[in-house]
Chains A and B, each alone.
Chain A
Amino acid sequence: MQYNHERMNKKPFLSIKEIMAALAVPILAIFTAFLVASVIIFLSGSNPLSAYSAMLAGAFGDLDSLIETLNKTSPLLIAGLGAALAFRGGLFNIGIEGQIMMGSIGAVLVGSTIKAPAVISLPLTLSAGVLGGAIWATIPGFLKARFEAHEVITTIMANYIAARVITWSLGAEGPLRKATGVVPETNSLQVNARLPLLIADSRLHAGLLIAIILVVVIYILLFRTALGFEIRSVGMNLSAARYAGMKVERNIVLTMAISGGLAGLAGAIQVMGLPPYNYSAGFNTGYGFDSIAVAVLGATTPIGVAFSSLLFGFMSAGARLMQLRAKVPIEIISILQGLILMFVAANQIIRGIYHIQTKGKQETVNLGHGWAGGKE
């Protein structure tokens, strides 16, 4: 996990030249990843060019597909902000997946039962989602702060536990199972608990608006508040933060709670924004791991996350048409994402291939700290 250390306390706005320099490596990394994936597509007997053009058409071809791309982007953006915030605090929240699920379940629980005008039920349903994700992330956060249990393992275990509990609750004897349902799914949300549409008679819902607002909010939180400064300090150097008198343990729990709350919100938006407005088996899977790649690709800055989530939204929206037209399985997307993550993280490879010089001092956050136990 690398980002420019000198930028930490400086002005956030860059000159055009600096932006070009900063963008060169990620763009080339994405390009290289697509290039490598095209070899795999070619080897499995399809034409990479027609696959990628189908992907483009599926994501930007007409207004409907553009809306599909944006609808895929907003949960990724929100959950990606959650992952990025955790990274900034030196935590690897790989449990976003489970926190999204719990957020969806929280939203369904509240949104399908409460009968109230939209002014009341919308915020209530959204906060139920936030709460669901936050609780599911706070437990590993607490275990890390209090018992030094590394969050990578505990949050992954929490993912599996969430998946099993939800499978049970949607199953034949589960408490959330829709009484008349043939397939495992919950009741639909009340009409007043559904997100309003941004364009009438389309599928574009207000989740996008929430996501864009959150980019600004998280930016301010991270770079303009005392709490954000503490989160980043703990992430940069835990012992220095402790020495400076910051409450490191409290910070870890809080960072996980906010990160999980964002993931939960992403899950809530998924059930509140799109028909059939309920949670069914296998819903939402994969968003959690995508959002981690989104956060790394966006260099853990809110604006970077916005752009990288758009890229990932484009890929997952376009994948369906690609599978239909070019007969390339959707799974190529996770190969692509792995490759992008690899080339962005190991940017020396990209710099080596394209002869780009390294500038500025790179400071690293060590995500493995505390792995072997014991206070640092």
Chain B
Amino acid sequence: MDATFFVGLITLAVLKSAPLVFGALCGLLGERSGVINIGIEGMMLLGAFFAFLASALFNQWTGGALSPEISLIVGLVCAMVGSMLVAALHAVLSIHYKIDQVISGTVINLLAVGITNYVANVYFDNTHLSGVGVFPIIKIPFLSEIPILGPILFSYQPMIYLMFLLVAFLQYAVFHTPWGLRMRSVGEHPRAADTNGINVNRTRYLNVILGGALAGMGGAIMVLENVARFQKLMTAGRGFIALAALIFGGWTPIGALSAALLFGFSEALGVRLQFGDLNHLYILISMVGIALTGIGLFWIIRKFTSRKKSAHSNRSIIIMTLIGSFILIGANLIVFPDIRIPIEFLGILPYVITILVLAGFVRRAKGPAAVGKPYEKQ
């Protein structure tokens, strides 16, 4: 394993995690204001669908006279607007009609699958509508030339930069602005918020619909910065993985970003191993070693920097770090037999990690207290 291998893997991981980050931010806005959104999957699917449809049609309509980037931007805007409309349906069903939010989200998912498959069959398959391509990579001058860090941080397509900016902005906005405070109070204790003059349902409508725009971007990025065309059921459960990332990240934007990067990394690793030039066993075992060592080192750093009492005993920290480093060193000494793990199993990785994360970490963090409960004014 050398530096180029890692740089390639990490940039791929960022690309793969981007839809998850947008999806998780959508879930964040909803859940922080008290509305569960199971329908992120459907909203992302529709976002991808609208992004492809609008950009391709606009390009066809203008006859290619404008530069393709303009068609792509039109696609992005339409994806956001389309998903906002669907989010508005979720908001009306769950806030106005007070139907169970989980059922409402399921309705969205069913409708999204039905509508996209229907139109893909009636229209795309017959007309052979072709995509406009993808956004080009923008290298930030000078910064992108720093070895290793340059390509990892400063050489992406524009929506990835947008994603990082959004995470930073939301991290500030959710915790340090009146808008964020209102949203969180409505999600934690709507009655108290109401008493203080905050319009509970209006806050929820606003945030769920804004979240829809984010989910639309999450779907759009899969088309506009990756495959350049719409495929049936292309989200493949990413909306749900995004929800797991949100929970794993403790309902904060930065946390969601880190968790999504983990999921994206596992997906990227699966993709990378399919190329066939690497020893699967060696890579996977080294990754386990790196992960354990990393967690151990993280705990050590936190022990020395945080004023709070560490949740982990000295012994467990040392054991964790030692086991990790032993695995890592051992992996580099032993010559592993070249066993090919089937593609399907490599693809399972993100799903399995999602389940493990939910089982292992949900209890550490607690979400908004009033999430999932419709608000009845008294």
Contacts and interface: CB of A to CB of B under 8 A. Distances in A.
A369 B345 contact: no
A337 B362 CA distance: 33
B304 to A, nearest CB: 29
Interface in A253-267: none
Interface string A356-376: 000000001111110111100
Contacts of A373: 247, 362-363, 365-367
Contacts of A45: 122
Interface in B109-132: 110-111, 113-115, 117-119, 121-123
Interface stretch (B58-66, B197-205, B349-357): B349-357
A316 B236 CA distance: 24
A335 interface: yes
Interface of B: 31, 36, 38, 93, 97, 99-104, 106-107, 110-111, 113-115, 117-119, 121-123, 236-237, 240-241, 243-244, 247, 342-345, 347-348, 351-352, 354-355, 358-360, 362-363, 365-369, 371-373
Given A152-B102, A345-B99, A335 B372 contact: no
The SS class assigned to the A binding surface is helix
30 contacts: A44-B122, A44-B123, A149-B359, A150-B247, A152-B38, A152-B102, A156-B240, A157-B240, A157-B241, A157-B354, A159-B237, A164-B348, A165-B345, A329-B118, A329-B122, A332-B118, A335-B111, A335-B115, A335-B118, A341-B106, A341-B110, A345-B99, A346-B93, A346-B99, A346-B104, A348-B97, A368-B372, A373-B247, A373-B367, A374-B366
Given A1-B103, A366-B100, A158 B355 contact: yes
B345 A164 contact: yes
A374 B351 contact: no
B102 A334 contact: no
A147 B121 contact: no
B118 A374 contact: no
* Top 5 A-B residue pairs of the complex, sorted by shortest distance between their CB atoms: A372-B367, A368-B372, A338-B110, A335-B114, A334-B114
Given A157-B351, A289-B110, A332-B118, A367 B103 contact: yes
Nearest to B105: A152
A368 B93 CA distance: 15
A342 interface: yes
A164 B371 CA distance: 33
A149 B103 contact: no
Given A337-B114, A369-B372, A345 B107 contact: yes
A296 B103 contact: yes
Nearest to A352: B97
Interface string A38-62: 0010001100000000000000000
A358 to B, nearest CB: 13
B366 A372 contact: yes
B26 to A, nearest CB: 15
A331 interface: yes
A210 B343 CA distance: 39
B114 A332 contact: yes
A196 interface: no
A195 B21 CA distance: 49
Interface residues of A, number: 59
Contacts of A289: 110
A316 B371 CA distance: 36
B251 to A, nearest CB: 8
Contacts of A148: 362-363
Contacts of A173: 342
A308 B100 CA distance: 20
Contacts of B371: 368, 371-372
A150 B372 CA distance: 13
Contacts of B358: 143, 147, 149-150, 153-154
Given A161-B352, A345-B104, A371-B371, A334 B359 contact: no
B107 A341 contact: yes
Given A157-B240, A371-B36, A374-B363, A341 B373 contact: no
Given A158-B355, A171-B342, A367-B102, A342 B113 contact: no
A369 B102 CA distance: 10
